[in-house]
Amino acid sequence: MRLIVFFLRPLYHLLYHQFAWTYDFVAAVVSLGYWQDWLQTALPFLSGRVLEIGYGPGHLQHFLIEKNIQAFGVDESRQMARQASHRLRRQGLPSRLARGYAQNIPFAGGIFDTVVATFPAEYIFDPQTLKEIQRVLLPAGKLIILPMAWITGRRPLERLAAWILRVSGETPGKPGPIPEAIRGRFIRAGFNVQSEIVKMKGSQVLVVVAERR
């Protein structure tokens, strides 16, 4: 499995950069159309002024703004920044998007009630990333992460999709709480951590809620 993940990483990079225009299509196919439903499971956990790390094509930004939530975003991909900005402008929605890295968030400290990242890469566990998130959060602010989702339907196509996600390392194991090793990283970074499984028809999503201490 590690070998498969090793070879897939360059493809993920291309998908998020040079081939960003295919991202929505690939995400919809791999998730059997669940992708945007999975993104929306984060909405009940988001409030106040929200910063999204890794906003990608901008779908969650769209959902947040439609709910009258003041949303901001940071993403290092120039191609994704272009897509997200275009999507919001086309809908007549404000765009508060910046380019930058999670390890050096280009926003002032102590201004966000919530930070959110949906299906992020390993950078989200980088101690420098967590330090930066602590910096930009208000006291008692929250970090919400959707680290993985499982396709749990029993139809042949659903089983195949679940197998693909499993062997690619996207959703290792069976649905369950946040692994203790990952929980420990957040605790050492100064967060109290809880996790919740959101169940929907044919799939389940893990939501991690890390509250700043």
pLDDT digits (tens, 9 = 90+) for 72-119: 999 999 999 999 999 999 999 999 999 999 999 999 999 999 999 999
Q: List, for residues 138-161, the tens digit of each pLDDT value.
A: 999 999 999 989 999 988 988 888
Residue 141 φ/ψ, nearest 5 degrees: -70, 165
pLDDT at position 54 over 80? yes
The residue length of the chain stands at 213
Count of domains forming the chain: 1
Write the CATH number for 30.
3.40.50.150
Pick the more confident residue, 172 or 70.
Answer: 70
Better-scored residue on pLDDT, 176 or 100: 100
Q: Which residues contact 44 (CB under 8 A, 6 or more apart)?
A: none
- pTM of the predicted protein model: 0.90
Mean pLDDT of 162-190: 82
Domain that holds residue 160: 2-212
Q: What 8-state DSSP symbol labels residue 153?
A: -
| 21 C-beta neighbours (distance < 10 Å), count | 12
Q: With 90 as the cut, is the pLDDT of residue 61 above it?
A: yes
Contact status, residue 131 vs residue 188, Cβ threshold 8 Å: no
Please give the pLDDT value at position 15. Answer: 74
pLDDT, tens digit (0-9, with 9 covering 90-100), for 111-125:
999 999 999 988 999
pLDDT at 9: 58
Q: What percent of the chain has pLDDT over 90?
A: 65
Confidence (pLDDT) at 11: 67
Lowest mean pLDDT: which of 22-26, 84-88, 130-134, 201-205? 22-26
The predicted structure's pLDDT at residue 27: 84
Give the pLDDT of residue 77: 95
- Tracing tokens 């999507």 back to the chain, one arrives at 87
Q: In this model, does residue 10 exceed pLDDT 80?
A: no
pLDDT at residue 18 is higher than 70: yes
Confirm if 185 and 125 have CB atoms less than 8 A apart. Answer: yes
Strand boundaries in the chain, DSSP class E: 50-53, 71-75, 97-99, 112-118, 137-151, 191-200, 203-212
- Please report which confidence band the pLDDT of residue 175 belongs to, taking 50, 70 and 90 as the band edges: confident
